[in-house]
Structure 1
Amino acid sequence: MKRVAFYTLGCKVNQYETEAISEMFEKAGYRIVDFEQEADVYVINTCTVTNLSDRKSRQMIRRAKRNNEDSIVIVVGCYAQTAPQEVSEIEGVNMVVGTRDRSRIIEYLEELESFGGRRNYVEDIMKTREFEELGVDVYKERTRAFIKIQEGCNQFCTYCIIPYARGPVRSRSEENILKEVAGLAQSGYKEIVLTGIHVASYGKDIKTTSLVEIMKKVHEVEGIERIRLGSIEPTTVTEEFVEAIKGMEKLCPQFHISLQSGCDSTLKRMNRKYTTKEYLRSVRLLRDNLKDVAITTDVMVGFPGETDEEFNETYRFLEEVFFSNMHVFKYSRRKGTPAASYPNQVSPQKKEERSRKLIELASNMTLKYNRGFIGKTLPVLFEQEVKGKEGFMEGLTPNYIRVECRGNKDIEGEILDVQLKETENDFIIGEIVR
């Protein structure tokens, strides 16, 4: 039996796609092994969000060949799509696929094995109009299942390479989404996370459905107890949207609403399609209508032209909104994006300083948010054993608080009531209510 190993860089969508590709290999008779083991085929699913992502992708390609110099190395994903020639010239790469036609990867591999040489199957993603089906039957983890419902992005933020890596918006059919959700429910998954490159755009290209419509239909699937949304835009959260989701008991009250900056002039240079006032309105709509709602976000520091005053504006806005969790990252200059040629690029030292301040703020906000739930009892979906802490399991509440408590592995995948006792770093220590 031939062996195949996988390595995934980047987002949840990439992780979903790797799961789908690994299933294809299993159905073709391959045995999946760990990436550090010797394999006949290595598949590296790349990311290109930052220069660091590109570098990490190249490192993993080289590591695969060191594990077995006679192996076939296949590179897929965003870095492969945006720089196919560069990737194909890396020593050890046998095949480059990109972000489309992954469903034909076994067919391409058979061609390569028959005729040899190097193969580059990357085509112009901007001309692609169909959603490529890459369904998943069984996840390696048996707790939460990610469902990719949408591909591509039409936003063209000035710092972002992803529209060029993923192409225009394509929505998956309701029929195929619901079929996959029903199959996962039968396999014992209790939580479904609806994800995509720009989830808020779901249905914009096919007009017969919308994000709210597919959420309603997933909500009706028997066996699914929780539904979680991937990252959405503040413009998604309208009065109509909130009214529609109020009655969805399975929908987790946690919304990741992308911000990037808390300064209007910076948002304008980024080509973000909202103002801080509109963002705050969306947050208030959710808080006024949903109990215990958690708002999480992404914030970028060091965007070209970001002055000390603009950064301070962002800091004050973050305090005003008050997030339960915040991902802070530094602007990375991406060749091929408008912002790469903007004047007044911010120094690495300044980015580091600003990043440190926001990470500290994020930590304080998470602690304060978590403390508000001490003494309460919330349902926790247990995901895994706590690393380095024998006899402890960890999981998430509906509003995305990470909880650790005493328990055995047999509660993995179960939703149990837990009394929240005390905060520790960015999680809460709890006790299962028997």
Structure 2
Amino acid sequence: MRKAALHNLGCKVNAYETEAMTQLLRQAGYEIVSFEEVADVYVINTCSVTNIADRKSRQMLHRARKKNAQAVVVATGCYTQTASDKLKDDISVDILIGNNEKMQLVSKIEAYLEKKQRQIDVVDIAKVQEYEAMHLSDSAQHCRAFLKVQDGCNQFCSYCLIPYARGRIRSRAPQDVIQEVKDIVEKGHKEVVITGIHLSSYGKDTGNHLIALIEKLQEIEGLARIRLGSLEPMIIDEEFLLRLTKCDKVCPHFHLSLQSGCDATLQRMNRHYTTEEYKQRVALIRKAYTHPAITTDVIVGFPGETDSEYEMTKAYLEELGLYEMHIFKYSKRDGTKAAVMPNQVAQEVKNVRSDELIKMAQRHTCDFAAYYLNRDIKVLFEETVSIDGKNYLQGYTPEYVRVLSDVTGRKEGQIYTVRATRMDEMGRLFA
């Protein structure tokens, strides 16, 4: 029996696809082993969101070759798609698979083993119009399973290479999504996280709509929770929320991508909303739900971001008071418009701004989580963790607040109503 090892870099969509490729290999008779072990086949699902991600992707490909000079090394994912010309000259890699051919992994490995000829299958992703069907019958996650329903992006933000790596928007057929969720629920998973490269675009190419898909998932027996991945702010309107609030399985946890609290910066980023429009969407969510969790991403030090622009962002975020903010220092991405913009911000300035916003984010997280102290909360407990020598069951509320509880009388994979009596400096609740 041949051994295969897989390594994933990048986003939740990549993680889903890596699980799907793992399932394919297992079904083909491969034994799946750790990437640290000696294997016959190594598959690296690469990332290209930053120059650093490119470098990590190359490092993992070379590490695989060093582990076993005779192994078949497969490169797939976004770096493979955007840097195929470079990888064609890299003797560490035997098989190159673009972002629309991952389900052909096994046949391409078999073809290589038979002919001993490099397999290069990377086409112009911009011309691909069909969604590549992937189907997971089980997930490596114990309780929560990621569910990819969409690929591609038409936004072309000035800092991002993803439209070139993933192509134009392509949506998965609703009936295929529904069947996969039923299969996952049968395996005991209680929560699905709906993900995509640009989730808000789901159905725009097929005449469907994200909310209609959610309503269909709501009807699946045995599914307890539906969690939404990252959304564009402008998908949020009164009709969307009216229909969403009728789906009681949907978690009141919204990740609304922001990136900056300054309109001038948003314009340079080619983001398609204003700070006022974003604020209105936050207000609509807070009107529709009692205490919803709203999280976001923020980039500091974008080219041209002056001290006053940064201070505007800082004041804006303070006013919004979101549950979680993921703070990123702008990183040049070769091939994007932002990489050649004037007035690039010094690294030292980015560091200071990032540190300030991270401290604010931590304070806001604790403020949000403190609301749940001494209240009955429903928690899906996922795993056992050890903190300071003591074992706890760890899980999450529908709002994605982390809760730790005594293991006595409770099991992983179950939802329990508990009451938290204390909170630590990280915003974790203890019940």
On whether the aligned pair clears a TM of 0.5, the verdict is yes
Q: Quote the Cα distance in structure 2 between the aligned partners of 1:195 and 1:221.
A: 18
Partner secondary structure for residue 142 of structure 1: coil
CA deviation vs aligned residue, 1:180-212 (integer Å, no higher than 9, x gap): 0111111111001110000000010011x2000
Partner secondary structure for residue 220 of structure 2: coil
The residue type paired with residue 230 of structure 1 is G
Partner residue, 1:355: 354
Partner residue, 1:370: 369
Q: Quote the Cα distance in structure 1 between the aligned partners of 2:139 and 2:202.
A: 23
Kindly indicate whether the alpha-carbon contact (under 8 Å) linking 1:403 and 1:427 is maintained by their aligned counterparts in 2: no
The residue type paired with residue 250 of structure 1 is K
* Shift of residue 58, structure 1, vs aligned partner: 1.3
Higher mean C-alpha displacement, 373-382 vs 21-30? 373-382
Partner residue, 1:265: 264
Partner secondary structure for residue 17 of structure 1: helix
The residue type paired with residue 236 of structure 1 is I
Partner residue, 1:176: 176
Kindly indicate whether the alpha-carbon contact (under 8 Å) linking 1:226 and 1:251 is maintained by their aligned counterparts in 2: yes
CA deviation vs aligned residue, 1:317-341 (integer Å, no higher than 9, x gap): 1011111111011111111111111
The residue type paired with residue 19 of structure 1 is E
Partner secondary structure for residue 345 of structure 1: coil
Distance 1:420 1:288, change over 3 A: same
Structure 1 gap ranges (5+): none
Partner residue, 1:117: 117
Partner residue, 1:150: 150
Partner secondary structure for residue 312 of structure 2: helix
Q: Quote the Cα distance in structure 2 between the aligned partners of 1:335 and 1:59.
A: 18
Normalization by structure 1: what TM-score?
A: 0.97
Q: Quote the Cα distance in structure 1 between the aligned partners of 2:51 and 2:244.
A: 38
The residue type paired with residue 45 of structure 1 is N
Partner secondary structure for residue 421 of structure 2: strand
Distance 1:339 1:5, change over 3 A: same
Q: Quote the Cα distance in structure 2 between the aligned partners of 1:381 and 1:103.
A: 32
The residue type paired with residue 169 of structure 1 is I
* Shift of residue 371, structure 1, vs aligned partner: 1.2
1:215-364 aligned at under 5 Å gives the runs 215-364=214-363
Kindly indicate whether the alpha-carbon contact (under 8 Å) linking 1:150 and 1:202 is maintained by their aligned counterparts in 2: yes
* Shift of residue 98, structure 1, vs aligned partner: 2.1
Distance 1:107 1:410, change over 3 A: farther
Q: Quote the Cα distance in structure 2 between the aligned partners of 1:418 and 1:66.
A: 50
Kindly indicate whether the alpha-carbon contact (under 8 Å) linking 1:4 and 1:25 is maintained by their aligned counterparts in 2: yes
Q: Quote the Cα distance in structure 2 between the aligned partners of 1:146 and 1:154.
A: 23
* Shift of residue 421, structure 1, vs aligned partner: 1.5
Q: Quote the Cα distance in structure 1 between the aligned partners of 2:298 and 2:409.
A: 36
* Shift of residue 231, structure 1, vs aligned partner: 0.2
Q: Does 1:24 align with 2:27?
A: no
Partner secondary structure for residue 308 of structure 2: helix
* Shift of residue 390, structure 1, vs aligned partner: 4.0
Kindly indicate whether the alpha-carbon contact (under 8 Å) linking 2:51 and 2:334 is maintained by their aligned counterparts in 1: no
Kindly indicate whether the alpha-carbon contact (under 8 Å) linking 2:369 and 2:429 is maintained by their aligned counterparts in 1: no
Q: Quote the Cα distance in structure 2 between the aligned partners of 1:34 and 1:238.
A: 45
Kindly indicate whether the alpha-carbon contact (under 8 Å) linking 1:402 and 1:426 is maintained by their aligned counterparts in 2: no
The residue type paired with residue 81 of structure 1 is Q
Partner residue, 1:382: 381
The residue type paired with residue 297 of structure 2 is D
Q: Quote the Cα distance in structure 2 between the aligned partners of 1:387 and 1:82.
A: 41
Kindly indicate whether the alpha-carbon contact (under 8 Å) linking 1:328 and 1:359 is maintained by their aligned counterparts in 2: yes
The residue type paired with residue 334 of structure 1 is R
CA deviation vs aligned residue, 1:139-167 (integer Å, no higher than 9, x gap): 11220011101000000001000000000
Q: Quote the Cα distance in structure 2 between the aligned partners of 1:364 and 1:87.
A: 44
Kindly indicate whether the alpha-carbon contact (under 8 Å) linking 2:149 and 2:202 is maintained by their aligned counterparts in 1: yes
The residue type paired with residue 138 of structure 2 is V
Partner residue, 2:426: 426
Distance 1:427 1:384, change over 3 A: farther
Kindly indicate whether the alpha-carbon contact (under 8 Å) linking 1:421 and 1:428 is maintained by their aligned counterparts in 2: no
Distance 1:360 1:144, change over 3 A: same
Q: Quote the Cα distance in structure 2 between the aligned partners of 1:211 and 1:267.
A: 25
Q: Quote the Cα distance in structure 2 between the aligned partners of 1:311 and 1:429.
A: 32
Q: Quote the Cα distance in structure 2 between the aligned partners of 1:383 and 1:425.
A: 22
Q: Quote the Cα distance in structure 2 between the aligned partners of 1:57 and 1:151.
A: 21
* Shift of residue 300, structure 1, vs aligned partner: 0.4
Kindly indicate whether the alpha-carbon contact (under 8 Å) linking 2:293 and 2:400 is maintained by their aligned counterparts in 1: yes
* Shift of residue 384, structure 1, vs aligned partner: 1.3
* Shift of residue 428, structure 1, vs aligned partner: 2.5
Normalization by structure 2: what TM-score?
A: 0.98
Matched-pair identity in %: 45
Kindly indicate whether the alpha-carbon contact (under 8 Å) linking 1:231 and 1:255 is maintained by their aligned counterparts in 2: yes
Q: Does 1:60 align with 2:60?
A: yes
* Shift of residue 55, structure 1, vs aligned partner: 1.1
Partner residue, 1:15: 15
* Shift of residue 408, structure 1, vs aligned partner: 6.2
Partner residue, 1:399: 399
Partner residue, 1:95: 95
Partner residue, 1:43: 43
Structure 2 gap ranges (5+): none
